[in-house]
């Protein structure tokens, strides 16, 4: 594995290797001094062309926990506003000594393009509505820690699937690891053509919620046109929001996940977001370990498969 | 004197194995000719016929000369076997008035490498709000009108242009893309776009406009040309309109004949164009339609963009790809057309649609010496291009069919002696 650009095509053994590594790094994070010298002297560059807090912080925390240095780039404070191209930005960071690049961008394929231009490992930190592979890893990791395995789990991913890179990545990771995935959204927020996708689709939450082990809620991606997929926010809340009535339909051992940022009162009722059956903060914590696993695999030559 | 020796020549008597002699811009002999002191183009094993005619090129002048200009585009055209081009009017400024059309024609004459005919915009500045100076454009020699790059979306506006021009010997050409159905689209809407999370342009965005326009043709009687037809549904509409006897023609690009939307999985902007690459079924139907004549002509939609403009993610890349230098080979590779049909689709019929008197003619004594020599079996792999821009979807792809020589008004513009 040279880059991590997509979950598509990543095999079960490769995923399990990364999850096993994540377990080890989670132990590191629980130590008194939550740091190992593995990547001492190496530099991780984060290039985030989209507003993001948690993903960037999570990557930077992961890099520092492995003792790597961090070069942090965001267009608000940079020459992108002066017309610099993505390619020139990438080559500039490489010239400054980056050994690996994490790229987030509002357009599909941005990380993929960077991987062609800059001769170094690239991690896709989210590209448009396409892929967000480390999110899929941390979500699979969270489910494996909670349930022991993903085989046989029934996962419903609910919300703005059409514009969601999280949904596209998670459904592939989950199904590769043996879970059954149902995408739940109004027809206008489902992808137009899911022929051949390893999942079912449903247009009503009430019909499927009682069968699920995992309810994975998504935010409406208003920046990608998600709000045009329904007529009003109250209507969306009424049909797809996780409220008290729907919570009571859940199986007793079902859990609730969300990639963040959450919109309390829309996809999830405000108090349910804090319920012990949510794994939302576990996802955040596990995300650091999962990203340490990815950095470790891509940056230590002897560990690379 | 130039002698094209030993080729399979398209004459008014059909295809004959013979020689063609050229002098002072004209064909002076067709038959077995003693070379004497003539400059000889060896055409053994080659097809010889009228120079290719492209109904659809973007030469970027005036306004975007870093991508291409009329001279550099003409050189690319000559090396692709073309002797006549229709230059799209989406320049900066747009070709929406007589003097602007005159400028393009004059630059073409100055370059002197092929005939460059300006197309005129249908609406002022191609904004779709008011009609362009159609009469002035007509007087300046414009015979093809289009807002190409954009669709004349307002049916009332297009109706008025059709009514205004219906009595004249010219054609209204449409880039068919419904702005509502196609809004924000970057590639064909289908399985690949869904997986990549890239917003799609549905086939219907093209077909609804073509269907609507055909109703306006029935109403007005104006000659209408479908630019870069790309879907099975569009082919069906054209087939039906022709059966009805409507004055309708259509073109297809070599890339739509050869490539499908799975190419976008590479996320390389060299596969980004409007209309987008469609499905394998559409590709097969377009090939059939070109072979059976439902689609009249191959046109490149040559759309140059500089390297640095392509060094961006797919969704941010500009629209279009170059095509002049690969058109012949891609078309032959995709369709295997015979010599007669190839010259019809790439020379004679497009010349008729563009109202070119001196192009697309069988080679006869006294005729203009606009000639191409094609080796139909040579294989090659495109790499670098004569065009100022290099954004080709065919780079690195083995193609069959090459241009041995091009002669424009009696001068060799491409070939062994150029």
Q: CATH no. for residue B214?
A: 3.20.20.140
Tell whether B267 is within 8 A of chain A (Cβ): yes
A138 and A269 fall within a common domain: yes
Measure the CA–CA gap between B101 and B122, rounded to whole angstroms. Answer: 13
pLDDT tens by residue, A217-239:
999 887 777 778 888 889 999 99
Residue A7 within any structural domain of the chain: no
Measure the CA–CA gap between A65 and A24, rounded to whole angstroms. Answer: 13
Residue A146 within any structural domain of the chain: yes
A107 and A241 fall within a common domain: no
A235 and A291 fall within a common domain: no
A43 and A145 fall within a common domain: no
Residue B229 CA: distances (Å) to CA of B178, B210, B233, B379: 14, 9, 9, 27
Q: Which residue of B has its CA nearest to A88?
A: B311
**Contact between A129 and B198 using a beta-carbon 8 Å cutoff:** yes
A258 and A142 fall within a common domain: yes
Contacts of B158 (CB under 8 A, 6+ apart): B122, B152, B172, B174, B213, B216
Query: What residues of chain B lie within 8 A of the CB of A164, using their CB?
Result: 197
Query: What residues of chain A lie within 8 A of the CB of B310, using their CB?
Result: none
Is omega for the bond preceding A261 within 30 degrees of 0, making it cis?
yes
Report pLDDT for A231: 83
A78 and A24 fall within a common domain: yes
- Report how many domains make up chain B: 1
Neighbours of B362 (CB within 10 A): 18
| pLDDT above 60 (res A78) | no
Q: Is B292 assigned a catalytic role?
A: no
pLDDT tens by residue, A37-76:
999 999 999 999 988 888 999 999 999 999 999 999 887 7
Query: What residues of chain B lie within 8 A of the CB of A108, using their CB?
Result: 196-198, 267, 313-315
Measure the CA–CA gap between B206 and B234, rounded to whole angstroms. Answer: 7
Contact B355, B170 (CB under 8 A): yes
Residue A5 within any structural domain of the chain: no
**Contact between A117 and B311 using a beta-carbon 8 Å cutoff:** yes
Burial B73-83, CB ≥16 within 10 A → b, else e: bbbbbbbbbbb
Contact A139, A197 (CB under 8 A): no
Measure the CA–CA gap between B177 and A47, rounded to whole angstroms. Answer: 35
Contacts of A8 (CB under 8 A, 6+ apart): A131, A172, B195
List the beta bridge partners of residue B17.
Answer: B8
A143 and A257 fall within a common domain: yes
- If 0-12 CB within 10 Å is exposed, 13-18 middle and 19+ buried, where does residue A32 land? exposed
Higher pLDDT: A79 or A114? It is: A114
Tell whether B203 is within 8 A of chain A (Cβ): no
Report pLDDT for A79: 55
CA angle, corner A264, sides to A258 and A270, nearest 5?
105
Residue B184 within any structural domain of the chain: yes
By residue count, chain A amounts to 305
Q: Output the DSSP codes for B160-225.
A: HHHHHHTTSS-EEEE----TTTTTT--EESSHHHHHHT--EE-HHHHHHHHHHHHHHHHHH---EE
Q: Which residues span the domain enclosing B260?
A: 51-357
Contact B259, B283 (CB under 8 A): yes
Q: Which residue of A has its CA nearest to B268?
A: A113
Walk across the sheet containing A214-217 and list its strands: A200-202, A180-184, A154-158, A214-217, A255-257
**Contact between A128 and B197 using a beta-carbon 8 Å cutoff:** yes
Rounded to a whole number of angstroms, the distance from the CA of A162 to the nearest CA of chain B is 7
Rounded to a whole number of angstroms, the distance from the CA of B199 to the nearest CA of chain A is 9
- Report how many domains make up chain A: 2
pLDDT tens by residue, A127-186:
999 999 999 999 999 999 999 999 999 999 999 999 999 999 999 999 999 999 999 999
A97 and A207 fall within a common domain: no
State the first-to-last Cα distance of chain B, in angstroms, to the nearest integer.
14
Contact A42, A68 (CB under 8 A): yes
A96 and A141 fall within a common domain: no
Parallel, antiparallel, or unpaired: how do β-strands B399-408 and B371-380 relate?
antiparallel
**Contact between B184 and A195 using a beta-carbon 8 Å cutoff:** no
| Nearest residue, CB atoms, B194 vs list A113, A128, A192 | A192
- If 0-12 CB within 10 Å is exposed, 13-18 middle and 19+ buried, where does residue A235 land? exposed
Residue A151 within any structural domain of the chain: yes
| Cα–Cα nearest to B229, from B55, B390, B8, B4 | B55
**Contact between A86 and B314 using a beta-carbon 8 Å cutoff:** no
| Cα–Cα nearest to A215, from A173, A182, A237 | A182
A190 and A220 fall within a common domain: yes
Measure the CA–CA gap between A261 and A131, rounded to whole angstroms. Answer: 17
Report pLDDT for A305: 44
**Contact between B267 and A105 using a beta-carbon 8 Å cutoff:** no
Confidence at A21, pLDDT banded by 50, 70, 90 = very high
Average pLDDT, chain A: 93
Residue B23 within any structural domain of the chain: no
**Contact between A107 and B189 using a beta-carbon 8 Å cutoff:** no
Q: Which residues span the domain enclosing A208?
A: 133-280
Query: What residues of chain B lie within 8 A of the CB of A194, using their CB?
Result: 194
Residue A1 within any structural domain of the chain: no
Residue A173 within any structural domain of the chain: yes
Local confidence pLDDT in tens for the 418 residues of chain B: 999 999 999 999 999 999 999 999 999 999 999 988 999 999 999 999 999 999 999 999 999 999 999 999 999 999 999 999 999 999 999 999 999 999 999 999 999 999 999 999 999 999 999 999 999 999 999 999 999 999 999 999 999 999 999 999 999 999 999 999 999 999 999 999 999 999 999 999 999 999 999 999 999 999 999 999 999 999 999 999 999 999 999 999 999 999 999 999 999 999 999 999 999 999 999 999 999 999 999 999 999 999 999 999 999 999 999 999 999 999 999 999 999 999 999 999 999 999 999 999 999 999 999 999 999 999 999 999 999 999 999 999 999 999 999 999 999 999 975 4
**Contact between B200 and A192 using a beta-carbon 8 Å cutoff:** yes
Task: Give me the CATH number covering residue A26.
Answer: 3.40.50.1370
Please count the residue pairs, one from chain A and one from chain B, whose beta carbons lie less than 8 angstroms apart: 70
CA angle, corner A127, sides to A202 and B282, nearest 5?
65
Rounded to a whole number of angstroms, the distance from the CA of A168 to the nearest CA of chain B is 7
Q: Which residue of B has its CA nearest to A160?
A: B197
| Cα–Cα nearest to B133, from B141, B143, B144, B121 | B121
Identify the DSSP state of B346.
I
| Nearest residue, CB atoms, B194 vs list A87, A117, A191 | A191
Contact B373, B41 (CB under 8 A): yes
Residue B197 within any structural domain of the chain: yes
**Contact between A193 and B311 using a beta-carbon 8 Å cutoff:** no
Helix (H, G, I), strand (E, B) or coil at A264: strand
| Nearest residue, CB atoms, A85 vs list B189, B267, B312 | B312
A126 and A145 fall within a common domain: no
| Nearest residue, CB atoms, A192 vs list B189, B312, B316 | B189
A138 and A253 fall within a common domain: yes
């Amino acid at each position: 594995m040279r880059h991590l650009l997509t979950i598509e095509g990543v095999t079960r053994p490769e995923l399990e290797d990364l999850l096993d590594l994540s377990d080890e790094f989670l132990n590191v994070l629980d130590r008194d001094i939550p740091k190992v010298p593995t990547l001492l002297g190496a530099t991780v560059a984060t290039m985030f062309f989209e507003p993001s807090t948690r993903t960037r912080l999570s990557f930077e925390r992961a890099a520092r926990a492995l003792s790597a240095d961090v070069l942090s780039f965001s267009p608000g404070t940079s020459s992108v506003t002066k017309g610099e191209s993505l390619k020139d930005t990438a080559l500039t960071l490489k010239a400054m000594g980056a050994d690996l690049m994490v790229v987030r961008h509002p357009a599909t394929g941005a990380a993929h393009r960077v991987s062609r231009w800059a001769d170094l490992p690239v991690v896709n930190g989210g590209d448009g509505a396409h892929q967000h592979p480390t999110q899929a890893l941390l979500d699979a990791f969270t489910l494996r820690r909670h349930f022991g395995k993903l085989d046989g789990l029934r996962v419903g991913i609910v919300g703005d699937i059409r514009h969601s890179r999280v949904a596209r990545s998670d459904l592939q990771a989950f199904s590769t690891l043996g879970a059954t995935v149902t995408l739940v959204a109004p027809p206008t927020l489902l992808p137009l053509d899911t022929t051949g996708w390893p999942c079912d689709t449903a247009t009503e939450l009430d019909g499927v919620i009682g069968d699920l082990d995992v309810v994975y809620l998504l935010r409406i991606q208003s920046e990608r046109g998600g709000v045009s997929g329904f007529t009003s926010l109250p209507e969306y809340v009424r049909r797809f929001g996780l409220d008290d009535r729907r919570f009571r339909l859940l199986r007793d051992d079902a859990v609730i996940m969300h990639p963040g940022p959450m919109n309390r009162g829309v996809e999830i009722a405000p108090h349910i977001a804090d319920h012990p059956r949510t794994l939302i903060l576990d996802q955040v914590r596990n995300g650091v370990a999962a990203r340490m696993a990815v950095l470790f695999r891509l940056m230590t030559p002897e560990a690379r498969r | 004197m130039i002698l094209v020796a030993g080729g399979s020549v398209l004459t008014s008597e059909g295809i004959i194995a013979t020689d063609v002699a050229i002098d002072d811009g004209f064909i002076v002999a067709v038959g077995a000719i003693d070379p004497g002191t003539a400059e000889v183009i060896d055409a053994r094993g080659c097809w010889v016929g009228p120079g290719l005619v492209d109904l659809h090129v973007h030469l970027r002048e005036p306004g975007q000369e870093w991508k291409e200009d009329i001279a550099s585009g003409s050189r690319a055209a000559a090396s692709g076997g073309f002797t006549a081009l229709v230059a799209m009017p989406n320049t900066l400024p747009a070709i929406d008035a007589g003097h602007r059309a005159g400028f393009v024609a004059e630059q073409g004459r100055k370059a002197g490498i092929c005939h460059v005919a300006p197309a005129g915009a249908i609406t002022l500045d191609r904004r779709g709000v008011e009609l362009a100076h159609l009469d002035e454009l007509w007087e300046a020699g414009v015979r093809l009108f289009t807002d190409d790059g954009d669709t004349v979306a307002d049916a009332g506006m297009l109706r008025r242009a059709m009514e205004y021009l219906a009595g004249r010997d010219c054609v209204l050409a449409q880039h068919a893309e419904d702005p509502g159905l196609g809004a924000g689209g970057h590639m064909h809407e289908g399985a690949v776009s869904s997986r990549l999370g890239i917003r799609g342009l549905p086939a219907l965005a093209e077909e609804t406009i073509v269907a609507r326009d055909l109703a306006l043709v029935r109403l007005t009687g104006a000659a209408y040309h479908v630019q870069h037809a790309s879907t099975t549904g569009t082919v069906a509409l054209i087939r039906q309109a022709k059966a009805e006897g409507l004055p309708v023609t259509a073109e297809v690009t070599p890339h739509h004949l050869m490539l499908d939307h799975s190419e976008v999985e590479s996320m390389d902007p060299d596969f980004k164009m409007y209309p987008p690459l469609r499905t394998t079924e559409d590709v097969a139907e377009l090939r059939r339609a070109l072979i059976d004549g439902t689609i009249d002509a191959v046109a490149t939609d040559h759309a140059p963009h500089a390297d640095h403009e392509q060094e961006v993610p797919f969704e941010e890349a500009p629209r279009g790809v170059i095509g002049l230098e690969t058109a012949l080979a891609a078309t032959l590779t995709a369709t295997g057309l015979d010599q007669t049909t190839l010259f019809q689709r790439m020379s004679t019929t497009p010349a008729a649609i563009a109202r070119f008197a001196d192009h697309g003619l069988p080679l006869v004594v006294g005729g203009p010496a606009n000639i191409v020599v094609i080796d139909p079996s040579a294989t090659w792999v495109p790499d670098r291009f004569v065009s100022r821009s290099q954004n080709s979807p065919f780079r690195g792809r083995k193609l069959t069919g090459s241009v041995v020589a091009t002669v424009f008004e009696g001068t060799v513009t491409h070939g062994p002696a150029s």
